[in-house]
Amino acid sequence: MRQEEPRSSPSTKTIIGIVLIPLALVGICCGGLLTVAGIGKRFLFSEDSSESPSVQATIKVSPPQGPKEAPPRPSPAPKSSLSGASNTNTLSYLEAAALGDMSIHIKALGFSPVNLRDNDNRFQVPTDERYMWFHLHIQNTSRTRKYDYSTWGGSPTGILDLGNGVATLKDDCGNSYATITFRRNVQLVGRTSRATLYPGSSIEDLLVFEAPVAAAKSFLLRLPGEALEQKGDVRFSIPHSAIH
């Protein structure tokens, strides 16, 4: 008696094929979409070689222009060397003079009231009258010697000093002008009565004279070297216009 073989269920291959076919279709669809997306992406973001290269605007910045150069200032007048008791050279009031080891120049000058102060420096007041005055700068140019200075403006005691070390002032009309001193209980602001000038050191002094006459056109200021322990003297010529 022949026995019938049992019927086999659908094969595994068939089942797998049935499952894979839809998956393949899905994969094909997805792949197509990705391909399309990639093409679109390349289209949107790829550089078009036909485009002209970008141009960067270049702004030329000129270098800042500073102030115009001022015309060169004239170099200071050279110092004139004065030595010897018979020396009578006369300098412009704008020049600096070398007298032995000393350099001297007129720093300022004018015709106006001058300031006074008491010995305790409690107050300072201008004078009622106007005077001719000269503000001097004096420097010891020696490297080895020190010198004593006694003001060209007269005795610090207030008593008129007629010695050789006092400055003299004359005008072209033949007038002489006395140095002005003040009471012993007041001091002239700017006055250096006495000082010791060590090598390289300097001082300033203020000389005060009587008021000038209106007709004077020029003045001659003489500064004797005795006040600085030097030989000779310094003479400065001053026009009337410089005083006023």
Q: Is 22 helix (H, G, I), strand (E, B) or coil?
A: helix
pLDDT of residue 37: 42
Domain membership flag for residue 120: yes
* Structure confidence by residue, pLDDT tens digits, 46-63: 334 333 333 333 333 333
Residue 227 near residue 153 (C-beta atoms within 8 A): no
Average pLDDT, the chain: 74
Q: What confidence category does residue 123 fall into, taking pLDDT thresholds of 50, 70 and 90?
A: confident
197 falls within a domain? yes
- 179 lies in a domain? yes
Query: What does the block give as tokens for 140?
Result: 């010891």
Domain assignment present for residue 10? The answer is no
> CA of 1: how far to CAs of 4, 7, 97, in Å?
10, 18, 160
Total domains in the fold of the chain: 1
Report if residue 232 sits inside a domain.
yes
> Residue 240 corresponds to which tokens in the numbers above?
């009337």
Question: Cα(220)–Cα(236) distance, rounded to whole angstroms?
Answer: 6
How far apart are alpha carbons 239 and 218 in whole angstroms? Answer: 4
Q: What is the pLDDT of residue 157?
A: 55
How far apart CA 215 and CA 219 sit, in angstroms, is 11
19 inside domain: no
Instruction: Give CA–CA dist 28/219, Å, rounded.
Output: 119
| CATH number of the domain where residue 127 is located | 2.60.40.1240
Residue 179 carries which DSSP code? Answer: B
Query: pLDDT class for 154, splitting at 50, 70, 90?
Result: confident
More confident residue, 71 or 161: 161
23 is a domain residue: no
What's the average model confidence in pLDDT over 93-105? Answer: 96
Can you give the pTM of this predicted structure?
0.63
For 210, the domain range is 100-243
Q: Is residue 113 part of a domain?
A: yes
Number of neighbouring beta carbons within 10 Å of residue 235: 17
pLDDT band at 120; cut points 50, 70, 90: confident
Higher per-residue confidence, 20 vs 215: 215
User: For 27, phi and psi rounded to 5 degrees?
Assistant: -65, -40
Closest CA to 202 of 135, 138, 153: 138
User: Quick check: 116 pLDDT over 90?
Assistant: yes
